């Protein structure tokens, strides 16, 4: 199948061709015609498979078929994302594929001044991409009218629920017209997602391109058992001996990310940390330095797992396993994107054996274990409870790196159309920061 077979306009096809793509990814091939037919959609696909283009392309097509009257441009499509960098990525995808259309779009999120956003909204926009908290801030200040929304997209819906946005989502839904098209995209399908879908979607079309909660086959996974106090030593050895040039490393806490980045620096490895306490400018700089090779190791908390999209990122390391098994899928989904191969390494201490079993239970497969000479764990060390884990799952305000407005994760990617590859596949993702909305 080619993009020319999907019912997209010449203007959109030209923009897609400008990016070098001719064939849609599986999620795009299934989602685009379904969205164009006006159906509600519940779509699940592994990270890095092009979900963003899967809804931005038909969204642009649908809205372009009806021009605004008398120059009035109400918000006709609303895309909600859990993090501000993911919002930025979607916004850039809309601009990339809609550049030949007379369409206006805007991105609003917290952590930045609200007045420029107000000025943009006053000019009128067709497509609005937003984090929930800042969206509600604008509604509260009466700078935004959502009464004309025709299409609602919940992007990374599972992450949104996991970060405690269900109450904000309900507030937003109450502001929208009852008759609208709803698109729910998610990398994993939890029970919470199913409940949200049941209440939101009207006879939805279910689209899955792979068994749910699975990792891409292009990612080679391996676990190394090691004592907790020797993880940093082993990590430095793996990076140095393997001559790894670009490594994304995940820790559980912000303090742990800072400490590890500092320790790796002392080992002679250029490293930077990104997490919710870092300013937007610091996160942007860290990611930019990482992409251009000035920083060899980027250390991130789970808030970055849903957004970072680095072309052909070869290595992801779980320095500490996540408390939530689904987060493992999202972490290692940062590599092996758009058909590229990648390697995901987990350093597992005795405290984390149960976490590894939970991950394997979710994946319905075992992660291969490889022993490293000189790093055999000390059998006399007993497991201890893991502190500072992800909590507040599914309700309330998550404090694991963020606050209300969805700006809770990683660092901004500035080329957010779609990852270079055979298809318009891996649209670039981002994550957010700590400040409100």
Cα separation of 203 and 262, whole Å?
A: 52
CA distance 143 to 159: 27
**Considering only CA atoms, which of 412, 409, 407 is closest in space to residue 435?**
407
Q: Specify the pLDDT at position 221.
A: 92
Asked if residue 92 has pLDDT above 80, the reply is: yes
| Alpha-carbon span 344 to 220, nearest angstrom | 6
- The pTM for the full model equals 0.68
List all residues 6 or more positions away from 174 whose beta carbon is below 8 Å from its beta carbon: none
> What are the start-end ranges of the H helices in 65-104?
84-97
Pair of tokens at residue 351 = 């405290």
Arithmetic mean of pLDDT, 238-244? 94
The phi-psi region of residue 268 (left if phi > 0; otherwise alpha if psi is between -120 and 50; otherwise beta) is left
Q: Read off the pLDDT of residues 290-333 as tens digits, 9 standing for 90 and up.
A: 888 999 999 998 775 555 666 678 899 999 999 988 888 878 87
Burial of 274 (0-12, 13-18, 19+ CB in 10 A): buried
Q: How confident is the model at residue 139 (pLDDT cuts 50, 70, 90)?
A: very high
Full set of structural domains in the chain with CATH: 3-208 (3.40.50.300), 219-363 (3.40.50.300)
Residue 401 has pLDDT above 70, yes or no: no
Question: What's the 3-state SS for 229-242?
Answer: HHHHHHHHHHHHHC
Check residue 430 and give its pLDDT: 33
pLDDT at 79 over 80: yes
Question: Distance between CA 235 and CA 319 in Å, rounded?
Answer: 8
Provide the pLDDT for residue 162: 74
State whether the Cα torsion 401-46-336-17 is positive or negative: negative
User: Of 336 and 103, which is predicted with more confidence?
Assistant: 103
Q: Is the distance from CB of 309 to CB of 426 less than 8 angstroms? A: yes
Which contiguous run of DSSP H or E holds residue 77? strand 77-80
Q: What is the pLDDT of residue 261?
A: 96
pLDDT of 70 reads 63
Range scoring the smallest mean pLDDT among 177-191, 281-295, 376-390: 376-390
Query: What integer best gives the mean pLDDT of the chain?
Result: 83
3-class state of residue 103 by DSSP: coil
Strands (DSSP E) contained in 167-311 are: 181-186, 205-208, 219-225, 247-250, 271-274, 297-300
Q: How far apart, in whole angstroms, are the C-alpha atoms of residue 3 and residue 176?
A: 32
């Amino acid at each position: 199948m080619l993009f020319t077979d999907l019912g997209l306009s010449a203007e959109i096809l030209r923009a897609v061709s400008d990016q070098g793509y001719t064939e849609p990814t599986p999620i795009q091939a299934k989602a685009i015609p379904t969205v164009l037919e006006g159906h509600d959609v519940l779509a699940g696909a592994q990270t890095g498979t092009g979900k963003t283009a899967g809804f931005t392309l038909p969204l642009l097509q649908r809205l372009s078929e009806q021009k605004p009257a008398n120059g009035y441009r109400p918000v006709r499509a609303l895309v909600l994302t859990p993090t501000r960098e993911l919002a930025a990525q979607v916004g850039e995808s809309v601009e990339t594929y809609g550049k030949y259309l007379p369409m206006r779009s805007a991105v609003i999120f917290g952590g930045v001044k609200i007045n420029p956003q107000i000025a943009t909204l006053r000019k009128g926009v067709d497509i609005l991409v937003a984090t929930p908290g800042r969206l509600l801030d604008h509604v509260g200040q009466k700078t935004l009218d959502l009464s004309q929304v025709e299409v609602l997209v919940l992007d990374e819906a599972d992450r949104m629920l996991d970060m405690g946005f269900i109450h904000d989502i309900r507030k937003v839904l109450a502001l929208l017209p009852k008759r609208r098209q709803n698109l729910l995209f998610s990398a994993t399908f939890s029970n919470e997602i199913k409940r949200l879908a049941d209440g939101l979607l009207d006879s939805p079309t279910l689209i899955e391109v792979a068994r749910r909660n699975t990792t891409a086959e292009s990612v080679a996974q391996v676990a190394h058992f090691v004592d907790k106090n020797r993880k940093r030593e082993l990590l430095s050895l793996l990076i140095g001996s393997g001559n790894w040039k670009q490594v994304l490393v995940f820790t559980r806490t912000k303090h742990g990310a800072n400490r590890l980045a500092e320790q790796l620096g002392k080992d002679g490895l250029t490293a930077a940390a990104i997490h919710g306490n870092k300013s937007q400018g610091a996160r942007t700089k860290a990611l930019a330095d990482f992409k251009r090779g000035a920083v060899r190791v980027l250390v991130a908390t789970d808030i970055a797992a849903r957004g970072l999209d680095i072309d052909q990122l070869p290595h992801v390391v779980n320095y500490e396993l996540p408390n939530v098994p689904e987060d493992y899928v999202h972490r290692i989904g940062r590599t092996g994107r758009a058909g590229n191969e990648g390697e995901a390494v987990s350093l597992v201490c005795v405290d984390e054996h149960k976490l590894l079993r939970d991950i394997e239970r979710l994946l319905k497969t075992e992660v291969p274990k490889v022993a490293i000479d000189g790093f055999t764990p000390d059998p006399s060390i007993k497991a201890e409870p893991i502190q500072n884990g992800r909590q507040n799952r599914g309700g309330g305000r998550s404090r694991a790196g963020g606050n209300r407005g969805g700006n809770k994760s990683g660092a901004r990617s500035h080329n957010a159309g779609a990852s270079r590859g055979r298809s318009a596949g891996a649209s670039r993702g981002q994550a957010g920061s700590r400040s409100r909305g």
